[in-house]
Structures are given as C-alpha cells and as structure tokens.
Amino acid sequence: MTDPLDLLPDGVVVADADGRVSAVNAAAAAMLGTAPADAVGRPLGEVLALTDHDARTWTDANVPYRGLSTRSGVPEQSWLLPDGTEVLVAARVHREVRNGPVTAVAVALRSGRGRARLDRDRSDLVATLAHELRSPLTGVKGFVQALLNRWDKLSDEQKQLMLTTASADADRLSRLITELLDVARIDTGRLQLHRRPTDLSRKAELVHRSITVVTSTPVELEVEPDLPPVDADPDKVMQVLTNVVENAVRHGNGTVRVHVGRWREDDDHLAVTVTDEGAGIAPELRQRIFTKFWTEGTGGGSGLGLYIVRGLVRAHGGTIVVDDRPGGGARIVTTWPVARTVAA
C-alpha cells in the first residue's frame, strides 16, 4: 500500500520526541540521498543533511527540540543539500500538552527552483523598468542641461522645441509610472473604480480625436446611433480605448477602424471593436499578449498596455476578445456593461 506521505509533492521528514526519524517520504529521501527504510530510527540531524553557506547544519541552527515552550515551528529558510542544490525548508513543532515538551517535529523540504525562477523574473522586471524609465529621463535631463548651458545662444524656436520635447518625455515618464501603479493595483486587487453612467460613444470620439492628431495612420470611427450609457469609470474607459487604438496604430498597416455599438452576444453590453490591417496575431500568442512586458514586434512601448487593458475591462465586468479581422489583420473587442437603470 502506498504511503500517504509519498503522494505529497514536497519532501517530508518526521521525527519523534527523542529526535529520531519516524517517517520519510520518497521525495525527501531522493533529495537527501538516502532510502526511507535506512533513515527511519536514525537521529534527525544525521538524516537531515542540510547546511548553510557557513557550514552550519539545520538542526544546530534551529534546535527544534529546545527554545521557548510556546514555539510552534521554524519559518521557511534556504538550505543546501549535500550536492549543493538549494531547498526551502520549514518545520512544524508539535506538543501534545500546551507549553509541554516537544513530541514531534515535521520538516518540509521543497525545491528552490521556483524561487530562483521568481528571482530571475524580478531581475528581468527591474532591468526592464530601468530601461523604460531611463529613456525619457535621459531626454528630459539632456534638453534641460542644454538649455542651462546655452540659453543665451539658442533662438526662441530652438528653446521652444527643446522644452516641448522635454515636456513630451516627462509625459511619457508620468504615463509609465501610472501604468506601473495600475499593474500593482490590479495584481493586489486594490484597483478602485469610480463608476457612473458614461457615454461610451463620446469617449471613443475623444480618443479618436487625440490619436489622429499625433499619427499619420488613418483612423476611422463608426458609432451606432442611440446607444445607452455604460456603467463604467470614465477615466478608465479612456485609458482602455487609448491603449487599444494606439496598439493597433503601432502594430497595424493601413487603416485602423473603431466601431462602437451593441454587443451581438449580449444586449446588456456595448462593444468597442478595433481592427487593423497588419499581419494579425497568431492564435498561440493571443493570450500571451496580455502578459506583462509583452513587446512582440518593433512597435515599442512598455509592454504593459494590454495587460492593464484586460485588468480594467474585467474589473468592470466586461470581456476582451482577440481574433482575426476578415480580410487580414487583428481585431480586439472590449465589452462594457450598460448602466443598470437604463438596462432595467
């Protein structure tokens, strides 16, 4: 019959009141380089062959059978196996009588690869953020320094160009910081929405107007008549639509089209459909584009826009779908719930 402890993904070593091993599962035995039958009955310190970078053993450093009588466990720590592999170790100290002597110690061991991968991801995150923040900051500092050093030698037109460029770089830096804060709020569930009846058509018109001023790419807007307001945070609606349309402008070719109307699958929702005439998005990538720092292609950007878009749309109770545009290109559809008083 299979030992229930062998069904656990992590290693487990259990010792009795005398400090001798009473049970070892297969995962722990494999990590420690021993056989379960050979480990049972031996002192915990011998079986648990773990050391730190100072050559101390786990049992010497944590003395699980001594210490305060209220002690209930040992928090997770990083230790090294005999072959140098890192493992994360935590322990539970059991007492049959409150504040009495220790009657059992259960030690859990799990691979440190997950934490190492997390550390690498964090390092990549820091490197990406440093690059994204440094680029506009370098522009601001460069132009300000040039103005300070050569103010009397520059013409009014040159000064205005430098100040305009520095202002644009400062806006870019501010947007990036806002995006990072939004990511943190989405990840921690602390995103706040100030929802009220919002004219989705009007928001789409404002986004269309602002983007067509700064791009040579044709952007067409079509709005169905007599659309009800949606229940949404107006600022977040603008943020979502701006991100989606700008993404289509960056990665598409030809005309970008924006359509606002009823969602065919649910009359209680309006849909904003944005299409481009680019290469489209491969089916296997359609979920990955919503991950953090996804920057496939040469369009630039922080790689946070679509991650935030999905988080904001879902927070409103809407949906976001990516598929192909008939005739080629990509299509992104975001849906927004109609305000309840209107729907009723």
Across the range 7-12, mean pLDDT stands at 89
Going by C-alpha positions, the residue among 303, 274, 278, 299 that lies closest to residue 288 is: 303
Domain CATH code at residue 314: 3.30.565.10
Task: Supply the mean pLDDT for the chain.
Answer: 86
Q: In the beta sheet, which residues pair with residue 260? A: 223, 272
Domain CATH code at residue 57: 3.30.450.20
What's the token pair of residue 276?
A: 């481009």
Question: Cα-flanking dihedrals φ and ψ of residue 129, to 5°?
Answer: -65, -40
Cβ neighbour number for residue 142 with a 10 Å cutoff: 14
**Following DSSP, what letter does each residue of 226-259 receive, concatenated?**
SPPPEEE-HHHHHHHHHHHHHHHHHH--S-EEEE
pTM of full prediction above 0.75: no
CA 73 to chain centre: 32
Domain CATH code at residue 153: 1.10.287.130
pLDDT at 344: 43
Q: Residue 175: exposed, middle, or buried by beta-carbon count in 10 A (0-12, 13-18, 19+)?
A: middle
Query: Does 247 have pLDDT greater than 60?
Result: yes
Which residue segment(s) compose the domain that 285 sits in?
Answer: 196-343
Domain shared by 228 and 173, yes or no: no
CB 28 within 8 A of CB 11: yes
Q: How many domains are contained in the chain?
A: 3
Single out the residue in 111, 139, 157 at which a domain terminates. 111
Domain shared by 220 and 149, yes or no: no
Question: Cα-flanking dihedrals φ and ψ of residue 297, to 5°?
Answer: 95, -170
CB 64 within 8 A of CB 74: yes
Single out the residue in 52, 80, 111 at which a domain terminates. 111
Single out the residue in 46, 78, 111 at which a domain terminates. 111
Domain shared by 261 and 338, yes or no: yes
Domain shared by 331 and 265, yes or no: yes
Q: In what order do the strands lie in the sheet with 73-80?
A: 21-24, 11-15, 104-111, 86-94, 73-80
Domain shared by 202 and 339, yes or no: yes
**Following DSSP, what letter does each residue of 163-220 receive, concatenated?**
HHHHHHHHHHHHHHHHHHHHHHHHHHT------EEE-HHHHHHHHHHHHHHH--S-EE
Domain shared by 208 and 288, yes or no: yes
Task: Indicate the pLDDT class of residue 130, thresholds 50, 70 and 90.
Answer: confident
Domain shared by 256 and 306, yes or no: yes
pLDDT in tens, 281-329: 777 777 777 777 666 654 455 667 788 899 999 999 999 998 888 877 8
| DSSP label of 266 | E
Name, in order, each residue with C-beta under 8 angstroms of 97's C-beta and a sequence gap of 6 or more. Answer: none
Task: Indicate the pLDDT class of residue 114, thresholds 50, 70 and 90.
Answer: low
Domain shared by 285 and 314, yes or no: yes
